[in-house]
Amino acid sequence: MKNAVILCAGAGTKFWPYAEIRCKAMMPVSNKPIVAYSVDALTELGFDNIVIVGSKFIEEIHSYFRDYKNVTVICDDKPKGTAYSLLKAKDYIDGDFLCLYGDTIIDIEDLRALAETYESEKKAVALIAEITRRLGDYIGCKLKGDMIDSIWGHSRDESTHHFGGFAFSSDIFDVLAYNSCRFVSADVGMMIPVEGYLESTLADELRRGNMQIVALMAKETFYDIDRPWDALRANSAMNVKKCSALTCNELAEGAHIDESATISGYVKLGKNSVIGKNVIIMGNVIVGDNTKILNGALVSGDVVIGNDCSIRNACFIEGGSTVGNECIVSHAAELDGMILNRVYLYHYMEWFGIIGENTDLGAATVCGSLRFDDSITLQNVKGRREFHDGYGDAVFLGDYCRTGVNAIFMPGTKVGVYSIVGAGVLLNKDVPNNTIIYNEQNLKEKSWGTNKYGW
């Protein structure tokens, strides 16, 4: 098997605010776009025909993969769902193929097993994992032995496992066109969107007795990145995976570690990167090219830092965090989470969450990450209350934003793109795109002078 299709045509509305200026599949996790994990793994496995089906912001996908000789990017200009997006790839696939979601990160060995299981079984194969949280959040399935017995759309009780990817023969294209754009296998009372899900086609074929699907349990966790907090969780896991692979210091040409630095672990430094005086590194860290870590900066383990960054002046970066390219983390700033490219954290602020591209935080911007009642914040996604695994208590600041001095963000708040949270704001709600939110003071003026002290 040498063919694969990766579906990236979804609008990413649940991923707000990070799909407002990019395809969700191009969101960086550990400084690498989500879809690139699948492409690189498939390339390593010898797949020489990878078709990416995109739609919104497809230009960024084209740009990123322009030097990949085994990747073809095609457009679904009027996406109606994953079934119809997959059908767009029909003319580009000759033979058996893997079908993956562009917003899911899967371990390379599970991808290998998916392809090999298909080759041995010569039946459709679904890579699956057990559902461990509220069942109604997934399109999922129920098993019968090692086969898929039934497929359900956001069932309250029926689904026990959810999907990571599939292996198909090209015969699947013959039935995709008959997708009804309604998920028939759903609980009574469940409101179903009009959308052509791939899983709906599979459910119909199972019910008609025309298909058998082998259930392949993933051995490693795969990350379905649907909401912003899913990206945080995946980011931490990818950092651990990358950094734990280090077994010695790796210094590229021109890289240098000052003798006064304290390093308890291993570091990988790109070209001309420097760990300077009195820096403390507590664990394994990966650093890109032309990045300077200086003046007593404190960096925990499993941290990934990009190119052309300045990390300096007694700042602190928590374990599992990611710093994008061309970023500044300076004077006593604290970071726990991930910041994208060209983010500036200049002066004594504290952040837990995600910060979008080209964003500048005013001095003393802080966020709360723990609630006084020790519970978690219920998130609101497209008007629906949603539970999460803890990362949803973080704060999510969109691309091209700014904050004023002493801005305070309460746990779980989200800010849309092209927005400003002004000085002194105590933010306890989400802020829409293209919005400035600020305080209006009531100032009182009275006379004051020496007479107040009895002179």
pLDDT digits (tens, 9 = 90+) for 6-40: 999 999 999 999 999 999 999 999 999 999 999 99
| Amino acid 34: pLDDT | 98
| Amino acid 386: pLDDT | 75
Give the model's confidence band at 135: pLDDT under 50 very low, under 70 low, under 90 confident, else very high.
low
| Amino acid 374: pLDDT | 66
pLDDT digits (tens, 9 = 90+) for 157-185: 889 999 999 999 999 999 999 999 989 88
Give the model's confidence band at 226: pLDDT under 50 very low, under 70 low, under 90 confident, else very high.
very high
**Is the pLDDT reported for residue 241 higher than 70?**
yes
Instruction: Specify the pTM.
Output: 0.95
Q: Could you tell me which of 55, 88, 50 has the C-alpha nearest to residue 179?
A: 88
Q: Which position has the higher pLDDT, 185 or 291?
A: 291
**What amino acid occupies position 88?**
K
Give the model's confidence band at 255: pLDDT under 50 very low, under 70 low, under 90 confident, else very high.
very high
| Residues contacting residue 91 through CB under 8 Å, at least 6 positions apart | none
pLDDT digits (tens, 9 = 90+) for 184-203: 888 888 888 899 999 999 99
3-state helix, strand, coil in the chain (%, to 5): 20, 30, 50
| Amino acid 47: pLDDT | 98
| Amino acid 378: pLDDT | 73
Q: What percent of the chain has pLDDT over 70?
A: 97
Contacts 24+ apart (CB under 8 A), 314-320: 315/345, 319/282, 319/283, 320/235, 320/236, 320/239, 320/240
**Is the pLDDT reported for residue 285 higher than 90?**
yes
**Is the pLDDT reported for residue 303 higher than 90?**
yes
Asked if 2 contacts 49 with a C-beta cutoff of 8 angstroms, the reply is yes
**Is the pLDDT reported for residue 446 higher than 60?**
yes
Give the model's confidence band at 373: pLDDT under 50 very low, under 70 low, under 90 confident, else very high.
low
Q: Which position has the higher pLDDT, 383 or 423?
A: 423
Give the model's confidence band at 368: pLDDT under 50 very low, under 70 low, under 90 confident, else very high.
confident
**How far apart, in Å, are the Cα atoms of 171 and each of 11, 96, 97, 108?**
27, 9, 11, 26
| Amino acid 372: pLDDT | 63
Domains defined along the chain, listed by start: 3-226 (3.90.550.10), 245-437 (2.160.10.10)
The arithmetic mean of pLDDT across residues 112-129, rounded, is 97
* DSSP character string of 416-449: -SS-EE-TT-EE-S-B-SS-EE-----------S
| Amino acid 397: pLDDT | 98
pLDDT digits (tens, 9 = 90+) for 379-407: 777 777 777 676 878 999 999 999 999 99
Mean pLDDT, rounded, of the chain:
94
Contacts 24+ apart (CB under 8 A), 120-123: 121/214, 123/212, 123/213, 123/214
